[in-house]
Amino acid sequence: MRFDRNCSHAEIAKSIGIGSTTVGECLSRAKKANISWPLPENYTDEQLELYLYPSSQLSQQAQEETQRGTIDWTYIHQELKRKHMTLMLLWTEYKQQSPQGLSYSQFCHRYREWRGHLDVWMRQPHKAGEKLFVDYAGKTMPVLLDKSTGEIGEAQIFVATLGASNFTYVEATWTQTLPDWIKSHVNAFEFFGGCPEIVVPDCLKSGVHKSHLYEPDINPTYQDMATHYSVAVLPARPNAPKDKGKVENGVLQAERHILAKFRSRVFMSLQELNCAMRPLLDDLNNRPFQKLPGSRLSQFNELEKPALQPLPERHYEYAEWKKVKAGFNYHVEIDKHFYSVPFTFIKKELHVRYDTNIVEIFYQSSRIASHVRSYIAYGYTTETFHMPKKHQYQVEWTPERIASWARKTGEATEKLVETIMSSYLHPQQAFRSCVGIIRLGKSYGTGRRL
Q: What is the pLDDT of residue 5?
A: 79
**How many angstroms separate the first and last alpha carbons of the chain?**
151
Q: What is the pLDDT of residue 120?
A: 43
- Residue 56, pLDDT above cutoff 60: no
Lowest mean pLDDT among 257-271, 286-300, 307-321: 286-300
Q: What is the pLDDT of residue 236?
A: 76
| Residue 443 to residue 419: CA distance in whole angstroms | 23
Closest CA to 170 of 82, 293, 262, 239: 262
Q: What is the mean pLDDT of residues 154-161?
A: 92
Domain boundaries, the chain: 9-52, 66-117, 131-307, 320-388, 397-444
Angle in degrees, 0-180, between the axes of helices 431-438 and 399-409, rounded to the nearest 10 = 20
Domain 131-307 of CATH type 3.40.50.720: no
Greatest C-alpha distance within the chain: 159
- Residue 352, pLDDT above cutoff 60: yes
Tell me which of 78 and 277 has the higher pLDDT: 277
Q: What is the pLDDT of residue 117?
A: 67
The CA distances from residue 181 to 175, 305, 391, in Å, are 8, 23, 44
| Residue 168 to residue 246: CA distance in whole angstroms | 10
Compute the mean pLDDT over every residue in the chain, rounded to the nearest whole number. 81
- Residue 86, pLDDT above cutoff 60: yes
Confidence of residue 146 (pLDDT cuts 50, 70, 90): confident
The CA distances from residue 72 to 79, 86, 176, in Å, are 11, 16, 44
Confidence of residue 169 (pLDDT cuts 50, 70, 90): very high
334 strand-pairing partners: 337
Confidence of residue 121 (pLDDT cuts 50, 70, 90): very low
Q: 361-395 pLDDT, tens per residue?
A: 999 878 999 999 988 888 888 888 887 776 555 55
Q: What is the pLDDT of residue 212?
A: 46
Q: What is the pLDDT of residue 390?
A: 64
Q: 382-432 pLDDT, tens per residue?
A: 888 887 776 555 555 667 778 888 888 888 888 888 888 888 665 655 666
Q: pTM (2 decimals)?
A: 0.57
Q: What is the pLDDT of residue 392?
A: 55
| Residue 285 to residue 278: CA distance in whole angstroms | 11
Q: Name the DSSP letter for residue 292.
A: S
Q: 208-245 pLDDT, tens per residue?
A: 655 544 445 678 888 889 999 999 888 876 665 555 66
Pairing mode of beta strands 168-173, 141-146: unpaired
Q: What is the pLDDT of residue 58?
A: 47
